[in-house]
Structure 1
Amino acid sequence: MARPKPWEVDDELWAVIEPLLPKVERRSRHPGRKRHPDRLVFQGILFVLHTGISWEHLPQELGFGSGMTCWRRLAEWTEAGVWPRLHEVLLAKLRSANALDFSRAAVDGSHIRALKGGPKTGRSPVDRGRTGSKHHLITDATGIPLAATLTGGNRNDVTQLIPLLQAVPPVRGKRGRPRRRPDVVLADRGYDHDKYRRLVRDLGVNPLIARRGTEHGSGLGTQRWVVERAFAHLHWFRRLRIRWEIRDDIHEAFLTLGCALICWRRLKSFR
């Protein structure tokens, strides 16, 4: 049996995605050309995410539709808020399966180049001042992505600590109130600032942040490594290794979709 391609969407995943997509009724008068099937277009978007190929080079023989069709549908679904809702639904399924661990969370940031510029870019201090962006990520104790944000490459990691915690959606999946805050957040020395420790505590979270000027070997790395592994999984999607999109919302769409796909893989591994 042939192994399915990573951009192929099975019936189980499509059953999760399809209800989230906006319904577009075809006009009865002057309907125009029939709309390309959403499932095939979504697979075209996944093909670009996985391979990093440019839209104009999307293989027509695979039935995805044109690259422009896929790009327009991506923009349409992004405007409709599909990707955050997909991520939230999958997080709820993980929590229902007892696969989420909110006892602690880990945060980190990762630089990428932004070759075409655009909003949320800046001169990267770690890439000889080239224009870049930064992915910021928060995971649960096992490395499942809870939220991701995008900033310019010149933004300090610590400035995104509070936005990351606030970006975690209310995760349902169990009886009672949704879970939104971890008990503890772990971070490296780049987040060492007493002001932000106070702000984290104000959210009801205990900050465990390594301090500058102290010896290495604090022990946080034995728990914080999961966010670095999550970045490795996230940047396995070639479209996220370099920012090609001028529009920041389109790149953020790919970023959130990548987080959702990691959640889906983890969910399948628990079954």
Structure 2
Amino acid sequence: MVDPGGVVCRHELTDQERELFTPLVPRAKTGRPRVEDRRVINGMVYKIRTGISWRDLPERYGPWKTVYTRFRRYALDGLFTRALQQMQARADAAGDIDWLVQIDSTIVRAHQHAAATGRKRGTLRQDEPDDHVFGRSRGGLTTKIHLACDGQGRPLAVMLTAGQRHDGVCARPLLERIRVPRSGRGRPRCRPDHVVADTAYASRGFRAYLRKRGISHTIPEKRDQQRHRRNRGRDGGRPPRFDPDIYRRRNTVERCFNQLKNSDGIATRYDKTATSYEAAVCLASFLLWARSV
């Protein structure tokens, strides 16, 4: 959105970001004229970056119901996920993706407004979890964001679970969400060159899964695993290969989380449904990619 003085307002799309995102927005062929796409998308971005209520959107973005309805429609249609994949495909075609992939997770507290979600039978979509990926712990209701990012700290795959879900259980489905489309013919690229993770992912099953797919990895061994292997003597086998220099790069995924959480709507969950919150994370991820191209 541009103010009367011709200056781009804060928390809105830049011209470059708009040129990358607007072509992906579906256009209605019939019906009455609708609010300009750029105004509505700027309203979505403003809401996610500031974390305000939909009802409190500034009037310059048009009716708040219009912005919310269109955001919800795009979320259910998977538009933000496709936009993220298009950015990844563009970078991959230019050879700009570092396939040394880091995986990790972060806990996000849910706001009390997000927790007030109706759970009537028959009212949820088939792809919406019954618990809306809310987990209950001592800190209250939480959601966990599982993230796989490339070597430059840009999201490749996003997955949401309840806050108490263990990272190791989600490692395999998270990696299977990496699907970078090819610019021409061919299947999407799904296999990293190397995976870096912390001890939460140090299970034998996950290591076996990576070896089966031909993916090298750098994951430190837990102390109890080391002790158990030593106690078995020769039968314990060799310790897994570990490169400390590569492991130092694991902070890249932490920096990626920090950039995503610069948006207040990501750092605290205000969305009542998992579909809407995941769409918000994908839109924030798209903006990270747009800054790097």
Q: TM-score range by the shorter chain?
A: 0.7 to 0.9
1:204-223 Cα shifts (integer Å, max 9, x gaps): 32232111116xx9445411
Is 1:82–2:45 an aligned residue pair?
A: no
Contact between 1:95 and 1:174, CA under 8 Å: does it hold in 2? no
Structure 1 spans left out of the alignment, 5+ residues? none
Cα deviation for residue 202 of structure 1 reads: 2.6
Deviates more, 1:42-51 or 1:4-13: 4-13
Say which of 261, 264, 271 aligns to 2:290: 264
Cα deviation for residue 168 of structure 1 reads: 0.9
Deviates more, 1:36-45 or 1:89-98: 89-98
1:80-128 Cα shifts (integer Å, max 9, x gaps): 22111110111122223332111x110000001123335101124xxx2
Distance 2:252 2:285 in 1: 14
Contact between 1:22 and 1:77, CA under 8 Å: does it hold in 2? no
Q: Which amino acid aligns with 2:108?
A: I
1:79-158 alignment runs, 5 A limit = 79-102=76-99, 104-115=100-111, 116-117=114-115, 118-124=131-137, 128-158=138-168
Distance 1:105 1:120 in 2: 25
Cα deviation for residue 26 of structure 1 reads: 3.0
Which residue in 2 is equivalent to 1:51? 50
Distance 2:261 2:278 in 1: 13
Which residue in 2 is equivalent to 1:209? 219
> Quick one: percent identity of the two aligned structures?
31
Distance 1:4 1:35 in 2: 22
Which structure has the larger Rg?
2
TM-score computed with the length of structure 2 as normaliser: 0.80
Which residue in 1 is equivalent to 2:170? 160
Distance 1:11 1:242 in 2: 28
DSSP-derived class of the 2:169 partner? helix
Task: Provide the aligned C-alpha RMSD in A.
Answer: 2.3
Deviates more, 1:150-159 or 1:199-208: 199-208
May I ask how many residue pairs the two structures share in their alignment?
Answer: 255
Q: Which amino acid aligns with 2:287?
A: L
Q: Relative to 1, partners in 2 of residues 1:6 and 1:180: Cα closer, same or farther, differing over 3 Å?
A: farther
Cα deviation for residue 192 of structure 1 reads: 1.3
Cα deviation for residue 178 of structure 1 reads: 4.2
